[in-house]
Amino acid sequence: MESALYPIQNKYRFNTLMNGTWQFETDPNSVGLDEGWNKELPNSEEMPVPGTFAELTTKRDRKYYTGDFWYQKDFFIPSFLKKKELYIRFGSVTHRAKVFINGNEVGQHEGGFLPFQVKISNYINYDQTNRVTVLVNNELSEKAIPCGTEEILDNGQKLAQPYFDFFNYSGIMRNVWLLALPQSQITNFKLNYQLINNEATIIYNIEANNDAEFKVTLFNNQKEVARVTSKNTGNLTIKNPHLWSLDDPYLYKIKIEMIQDDKVVDEYADRIGIRTIKIVNDKILLNNQPIYLKGFGKHEDFTVLGKAVNESIIKRDYECMKWIGANCFRSSHYPYAEEWYQYADKYGFLIIDEVPAVGLNRSVTNFLNVTNSNQSHFFASKTVPELKKVHEQEIKEMIDRDQRHPSVIAWSLFNEPESTTQESYDYFKDIFAFARKLDPQNRPYTGTLVMGSGPKVDKLHPLCDFVCLNRYYGWYVAGGPEIVNAKKMLEDELDGWQNLKLNKPFVFTEFGADTLSSSHRLPDEMWSQEYQNEYYQMYFDIFKKYPFICGELVWNFADFKTSEGIMRVGGNDKGIFTRDREPKDIDFTLKKRWQQLN
């Protein structure tokens, strides 16, 4: 990745979206490169970008297509752009991409949920039509995240078998931009805040591709409040700062000018929120005040769009989350499109930002096997060193991309891996040590523990600044009439954690029950709306007794698509909202609770 900066326009920087109709072709035998598809696709069809073929097709083999596939688009570059450095920036390509300009390879990227950009200037024909081609691959393995495997069907077709519970949507599912940037350019900048008495100090660290000086200016509502010129690092101090908070998500504007030979050569501006986040004993403090997290584990998921970004969905989801009184979500199980974080900054929402490290457990159908005697010693396998490199690279890209957002309060480095073996501890000890060097704000690091990884056996909680539990007592175990036992199991587990005297906050990052919006039952039965209510009430009654619980993120914000199977009716139905974002009965219980809870 040449730069982690979100595209903006000003006197020095120009961009235009390349979204729209692209050409598309699947390549099941991976012959494309040998046959020159990087120059011309032989039998292509039209495909929208952003989008995913799996949601647009009426054919099963296309929906589940696994392997190589190609995108291609022609675009024009006028010669007045000659003085600029040109790039194409992909919001993401899932899961890996090779990019060609006029047939020449210009870059590649591993990881399906983070942006990357490729420099194209050296391969462009000015005042002519040019062609970008992208070779994409959506296969799953244990060498990359998210993890999975694949099966060859009797008809020879590959079928991805995710070790995770969401549909393996793939393709170009986020925005694509053409960028025209100055030759000498700012490539990123990192910020940290110190609040002492009535003063805030903003400590900055600017990354650029050339040596320069930088003028950094801070504005409040267009009025300049501080300015300093320095080399790459420096700081700005302001008196009586207007802090960013949930009730008042105030944003300043920061402008950085890059200066060479007394001339401004680049400028980048962003909205920033001044706030601190830290853990003290068993509390999470925002601006030194304890906060209680109320909200969701989410997905980027919608009918017809799959995981393709769409600002209308983003807006609707935030409206629903505000209506119900939520203040937080986890970007389960991957970093979301950048627009989600921009909204959170403006709306006053908190995000636990998660890297796509899901499925590190070799469990296709039953995640309870992750910790029981069927566990597969995932971290003892030969591919682990390769996996670790990819995992670290994605942590770096996520933090580089998201570290300035005031809404991001923590980094989640894993979801439900094997976590009871020494090998798992050794793996994650390195992962945490790596990650802890990257965020100048030193936000808390965590990861979510699978059910079964309890106080007696779990090996990963010592690495986490706060402990995240995904628990399904009353659903996957002791459901329906056994819910009385579920209550006891949950209490026993929480007593176990309490006895460890960890003096750390705990957050429930998943708990939920599949619920069909069409099902009503008296007395309650599993899958009915009444049962979802009873289930959550049981958890809430118990939470009261444990003051170290600092948050409840229910699973899931909305129903979402998964692989097919006997556990899933058209997908995962644990949504608080339906897949088309209408309320289930539980919403009114949650709304009442969350509006009262502070």
Select which of 85, 300, 493, 510 is catalytic: 510
Q: Which residues contact 566 (CB under 8 A, 6 or more apart)?
A: none
Q: Closer to ligand GCB at the Cβ: 167 or 250?
A: 167
Smallest distance, ligand GCB to C-beta of residue 475, A = 8
**What residues from 486 to 525 belong to the interface with ligand GCB (CB under 6 A)?**
510
- Give all strands (DSSP E) within 261-322, no chain letters: 263-272, 277-280, 283-286, 289-290, 293-297
CA distance 66 to 150: 9
CA distance 544 to 533: 17
Q: Does 416 bind ligand GCB (CB under 6 A)?
A: yes
CA distance 29 to 261: 54
Tokens of 304: 């017809």
Radius of gyration of the chain (CA): 24
Q: Residue 503: which of 282, 312, 234, 277 has the closest Cα?
A: 282
Smallest distance, ligand GCB to C-beta of residue 366, A = 10
Q: Closer to ligand GCB at the Cβ: 342 or 578?
A: 578
Q: Does 574 bind ligand GCB (CB under 6 A)?
A: yes
Site string for ligand GCB, 232-271 (x = CB under 6 A): ----------------------------------------
Smallest distance, ligand GCB to C-beta of residue 416, A = 5
Tokens of 350: 């908190």
Smallest distance, ligand GCB to C-beta of residue 346, A = 28
Query: Coil, strand, or helix at residue 173?
Result: coil
Q: Quick one: residue 457, left, alpha or beta (phi over 0 = left, psi -120 to 50 = alpha)?
A: alpha
Query: Coil, strand, or helix at residue 203?
Result: strand
Whether residue 300 lies in the annotated active site: no
Smallest distance, ligand GCB to C-beta of residue 136, A = 24
Q: Does 470 bind ligand GCB (CB under 6 A)?
A: yes
CA distance 124 to 593: 58
Q: Does 276 bind ligand GCB (CB under 6 A)?
A: no
Smallest distance, ligand GCB to C-beta of residue 365, A = 11
Residue choice 349, 367, 506, 543 for contact with ligand GCB (CB under 6 A): 367
Whether residue 510 lies in the annotated active site: yes
Q: Closer to ligand GCB at the Cβ: 21 or 372?
A: 372
CA distance 469 to 296: 13
Q: Does 113 bind ligand GCB (CB under 6 A)?
A: no
Smallest distance, ligand GCB to C-beta of residue 312, A = 24
CA distance 579 to 366: 24
Site string for ligand GCB, 158-197 (x = CB under 6 A): ------xx--------------------------------
Q: Residue 203: which of 401, 409, 439 has the closest Cα?
A: 439
Q: Closer to ligand GCB at the Cβ: 476 or 546?
A: 476
Smallest distance, ligand GCB to C-beta of residue 144, A = 18
Smallest distance, ligand GCB to C-beta of residue 566, A = 13
Q: Does 361 bind ligand GCB (CB under 6 A)?
A: no
Q: Three-state SS across 22-88?
A: EEEEEECCCCCCCCCCCCCCCCCEEEEECCCHHHHCCCHHHHCCCCEEEEEEEEEECHHHCCCEEEE
Q: Closer to ligand GCB at the Cβ: 421 or 448?
A: 448
DSSP H or E run through 447: strand 445-449
Q: Does 396 bind ligand GCB (CB under 6 A)?
A: no
Count CB-CB contacts under 10 A for residue 378: 24
Q: Closer to ligand GCB at the Cβ: 324 or 357?
A: 357
Q: Residue 169: which of 278, 59, 56 has the closest Cα?
A: 56
Task: Name the residue with the smallest CB distance to ligand GCB.
Answer: 165
Select which of 2, 55, 267, 416 is catalytic: 416
CA distance 51 to 48: 6
Q: Closer to ligand GCB at the Cβ: 165 or 552?
A: 165
**Omega before residue 556 within 30° of 0, cis:** yes
Q: Closer to ligand GCB at the Cβ: 109 or 574?
A: 574
Residues in binding contact with ligand GCB, number by CB under 6 A:
10
Q: Residue 433: which of 466, 468, 391 has the closest Cα?
A: 391
**Omega before residue 391 within 30° of 0, cis:** no
**What residues from 553 to 572 belong to the interface with ligand GCB (CB under 6 A)?**
555, 572
Q: Closer to ligand GCB at the Cβ: 270 or 573?
A: 573
Q: Which residues are catalytic?
A: 416, 510
Binding site for ligand GCB (CB under 6 A): 164-165, 367, 415-416, 470, 510, 555, 572, 574
